[in-house]
Amino acid sequence: MKHIVILISGSGSNMAAIIRTAEAQHWAKRLNARVSAVISNKADAEGLAFAQQHGIATAVVDHKAFAGEPQPREAFDAALMKEIDQHQPYLVVLAGFMRILTHGFVAHYEGRLINIHPSLLPAFTGLNTHARAIEAGCKFAGATVHRVTAELDHGPILSQAVVPVLPDDTADTLAARVLTQEHLMYPKAVADLLAT
């Protein structure tokens, strides 16, 4: 069985898209895979309830609990790895997980860690991607699924989706258009990786 662990920080809409698509298209069964756990760094992440409703184990590793540690990021990542590794993941999927991960964490899951970023990488790494694309006068924007490396938003690109930037777009309207594509491309990228 190929176990998938998904990390979220909020609503988990990409996580939900992966779970719904796996169920609707039956690729999880066909590929001998399943989402074994959804883990969040926030106890109030809305996506946890969705995962629980679908019979998926959930856990919270609150990054704020490590604020008093001498190396809080490393301590948090160590606790997160311990929680993930209980599920023996074939793939660790970042789906709106809003934490920058340490080099040690990334190295631990090398080749098994993927992310979706709301821009056409290598353009607009980091935050506020939609506003930055509009400010730069881009005619197109989109999303990228990539392997995670130690350098933020710079791993090998697995797939991309492109949407037009319309003349009256705001960051919110562009984000909504891009998110629609994310919900289509991320489940496909996960299935493609499971098939290899």
Residues with a known catalytic role: 117
In this structure, the strands spanning 157-164 and 140-147 are antiparallel
Tokens 């809305």 map to which residue?
46
Residues 5 and 58: their CA atoms lie apart, in Å, by 10
Residues 7 and 87: their CA atoms lie apart, in Å, by 13
Question: Strand order in 57-60's β-sheet?
Answer: 57-60, 33-40, 2-8, 89-94, 113-117, 140-147, 157-164
Using DSSP's 3-state secondary structure scheme, residue 137 falls into coil
